[in-house]
Structure 1
Amino acid sequence: MKTKKKMKKRKQKTKNKLKQSRLKLRSKPKPKKTKKLVVRKPKSDGQPRYKLNIDFQFIQELKDLMLKSSPAEKEEITDRLQKLGKIKLAIVAGVFLNKENQENVPTDILIVSDDLDRRKFSKFLKYLEAETGGEVRFVIMEKDEFTYRLSMFDRFVRVLLEGPHEKLINRLGLE
C-alpha cells in the first residue's frame, strides 16, 4: 500500500512540474524597462566605455527626436532635387516622415521627371542615404507613365498617395 501511495505522489509531482513548465513556455516575458539611458562598462585598459541601453523606457521617443527632419532639411532636399533636371513631381514618404509602419509604404521617394540626369541622381541618392543612415527606396517615372498609372488607379501609386506622404515638388497640380 505504501508503495502505491508513493507512486501516486511521484506521478502527481511530475504532472505538476510539467504543468509549471508549460505555463512558463506559454507566458511571454514582459520587456523590462529601465530608467538608465546609458550603461557604463569599463574596458580592460581602464578607459570607460558607454553603450546605449535599448531597454530604456523612452528609447523610441529619443529615436524620434534624433531622426526628426526639420523644414530646413526638406528645403535642402528640394534644392538638390531641382538641380537634377526637370522634375514634375517629388514625393517623400517612409523614412523621411519617421512613421512607425515604414514597411507598408512602397517607396521612400518618388520622382516624376522626363529629363533626369542619372549621374547627378546617383550622387543625390548617396547624400540621402548618408543623411538617413540607411538604404533609401526610390522610384523614378516619366510623366506619361505616372499619369497613366494614376488614371488606372494603380495599387502602387494609390497606396503611396493615400498613406502619409509629403509633396516637395508638385508641378502636376496633384492634390
Structure 2
Amino acid sequence: MKLLSTFLLHPEEEFYIRELTRLLHEQINSVRRELENLRRIGLVRARHRNRKKYYRVDPDFALYTELRGIFAKEIQSESPIVSSLRKLSDIDLILLAGSFVGTECKVDLLVVGDIKKEMLEALLLQDSSLKNMKYSIFSRADFLYRLSLQDRFIRDIISDPRHLIVHNVIAKEINEAKEK
C-alpha cells in the first residue's frame, strides 16, 4: 500500500529502489519484489539512468485514474487540515490540489468562506508538513463573481478533474455561475 500510494500521489516523480526503501522504511528485497510485480502488470515503468534503475507510474495504465482517485480520497479524508476546516461553520468550499493530489498547480488548497488568513495559517502551522502550503482564500461572493466572469485561475482549478472538492455547500451556485 505504501508503494502504491507513493507512486499514485506523485505521478511526475521517479524513484530508485534505495530511495524508496528509505522513504517507506521497508526492506530492499520486499520493495524490489513489489516493484517487479507493479512493473509486470503495467502500473509502473522502469528506466536506467546513471547506473540506477528508476521507476515511475505509467499514466496510461488502464486503471490509473481510478486507483489514483481512491488513494487521493483516502489521503484527503485523513488530512488534519481538512477535518479542522470542516468543523468551521462558515466554510463553503474546500478544494485540494497541488501537493495534496500530486499535481502541479498554483495552489495546494482553495478555501471559500468566511475565514481569516491568520486562522488558516494557524491551522496549517499545526502540521509541520503543511508549513509551505500554497493556498487561496475567497469570500463566497468574490469566488462566485470571479467564476461568473470566467476568471482563468478559478476556472482552471475548479475544472481540473484531478483536483478534489472535499467540502461543497455552494454546488448549486457554482453550477449557476458556470452557466452564465
- The TM-score normalised by the length of structure 2 is 0.52
Cα distance in 2 for residues equivalent to 1:126 and 1:141: 20
Where does the alignment leave 5 or more consecutive residues of structure 1 unmatched? 1-34, 39-53, 62-67
Cα distance in 1 for residues equivalent to 2:73 and 2:129: 12
Cα distance in 2 for residues equivalent to 1:78 and 1:36: 32
**The one of 69, 86, 97 aligned to 1:93:** 97
**The one of 11, 33, 37 aligned to 2:18:** 37
Where does the alignment leave 5 or more consecutive residues of structure 2 unmatched? 1-15, 20-48, 58-70, 176-180
Cα distance in 1 for residues equivalent to 2:118 and 2:107: 21
Aligned to 2:144: 147
Larger radius of gyration: 1
Aligned to 2:133: 136
Structure 1 residues 117 and 158: CA distance shift in structure 2, 3 A: closer
Tell me whether 1:162 sits opposite 2:166 in the alignment: no
Amino acid at match of 1:37: R
- CA deviation profile, 1:78-117 (whole Å, cap 9, x unmatched): 3211234510001010100013xx1xx221111001x225
- Structure 1 segments, 4+ long, off by >3 Å, are 58-61, 117-120
- CA deviation profile, 1:46-93 (whole Å, cap 9, x unmatched): xxxxxxxx96424656xxxxxx76626524433211234510001010
Q: Matched residues, percent identical?
A: 24
Cα distance in 1 for residues equivalent to 2:112 and 2:133: 17
Is residue 17–residue 54 contact of structure 2 (8 Å, CA) maintained in 1? no
Aligned to 1:125: 124
User: What's the C-alpha RMSD, in Å, of the aligned pairs?
Assistant: 3.3
Aligned to 2:53: 57
Aligned to 1:81: 85
